[in-house]
Structure 1
């Protein structure tokens, strides 16, 4: 994995976290969904990426 660099402050220390608010398919109201995982700069808090923990949840 190449070293990441923050676009806002040029920091190189990152962490991952989640808000535990699941994202659900629009057409499946009772789906458990999947967590969002954020990668963010530990220096300034800028979010570098957001990804879905289990994208298979959205396959039809």
Structure 2
């Protein structure tokens, strides 16, 4: 996250956090992947969202 600037306020400090509700491949699935948010520490603008454990979304 070096040399990154917030598109909304121009700040350069970012942090990562997660949501408490995982994203699941369907509503019947028991397991899911955490959503990881990268956001500006100055204004809170979300820069990116990524999903951990994408293997659960692949068709077998």
Q: Please report the TM-score for the alignment, with normalisation by the length of structure 1.
A: 0.87
Q: Which runs of 5+ in 2 are unaligned?
A: none
Match of 2:55?
Answer: 56
Contact 1:34 1:54 survives alignment (8 Å): yes
Which residue does 1:11 correspond to in 2? 11
Aligned residues: 59
Question: After the TM superposition, which segments of 4 or more aligned residues of structure 1 sit over 2 Å from their partners?
Answer: none
SS at match of 1:17: strand
What TM-score comes out, normalization by structure 2 length? Answer: 0.87
Deviations 1:7-47 (A, max 9, x none): 00001000000012100012x61331100000000000000
Give the whole-Å Cα distance in 1 for the aligned partners of 2:15 and 2:44. Answer: 10
